[in-house]
Amino acid sequence: MTDWIPTCAAGDAILQAFIPRMGRRYAGGRNTDHGPGAHKAVSVLSPYIRRRLVLEQDAVAAAIAAHGPKGAEKFVQEVIWRGYFKGWLKRRPQVWASYMAGLETDLAALHRDRRLRRDVERAMDGQTGLECFDAWATELVDTGYLHNHARIPSVTQ
């Protein structure tokens, strides 16, 4: 996803290209991070779905049409889980408020602490010395995308 183009046409092109992989390949490979440019078992549709440039129901319908209900089951489950969790958060505004309060506290600490600021800058530049973290930071800056498991600390540890 090196060239993020925020249009329905770009989202649809990614959806269409991913349809052949929405079945067994997705189910078997979705949990493996193969690194930059090698995310073939995941859709990278998230930014398009988030902005409603691709609709969940269209992605689900495409998966079922191509792979049948059983073959598309894991992909459909993940799309439904995304919608469920979005609704869960929407009904709990205190979760967002708590996140924002914590973010403000963290940003204030970052503003006050020059060493912390330097460490954060090094992390964002992929210069921590931790090979996996530095690779993920570089990938995020270069491509705008990270595999789900690179974003979940408990999975990657």
- pLDDT tens digit sequence for 132-143: 899 999 988 888
CATH of the domain at 63: 1.25.40.80
Q: Does 25 fall in a domain?
A: yes
Q: Is the pLDDT of residue 28 over 90?
A: yes
123 assigned to some structural domain: no
What integer pLDDT is reported at residue 89 of this predicted model? 94
Report the pLDDT value the prediction gives residue 53, as an integer from 0 to 100. 97
152, part of any domain: no
For residue 17, what pLDDT band results from cuts at 50, 70 and 90? very high
Work out the average pLDDT over 52-75: 98
pLDDT tier for residue 3 given thresholds of 50, 70 and 90: low
Instruction: Give domain status of residue 135, yes or no.
Output: no
Total tally of structural domains belonging to the chain:
1
103 part of a folded domain:
no
- What is the pLDDT at residue 100? 96
DSSP character at residue 69: H
Does residue 155 carry a pLDDT above 50? no
Residue pair 2/36 in contact by the 8 Å Cβ criterion:
no
- The mean pLDDT of the chain is 91
Q: In this predicted structure, what is the pLDDT of residue 10? A: 95
Q: 99-103 — which CB contacts under 8 Å span 24+ positions?
A: none
Range of the domain at 49: 8-91
The structure's pTM equals: 0.79
State the Cα–Cα distance between residues 32 and 51, nearest whole angstrom.
25
pLDDT above 90 coverage of the chain, percent:
73
Residue-level pLDDT at 40: 85
> How far apart (Å, rounded) are the C-alpha atoms in residues 73 and 63?
9
Residue 15 lies in a domain: yes
Mean pLDDT of 113-132: 94
Task: Examine the pLDDT at 153 and tell me if it is beyond 80.
Answer: no
> Is residue 99 included in any domain, yes or no?
no
Residue 36 lies in a domain: yes
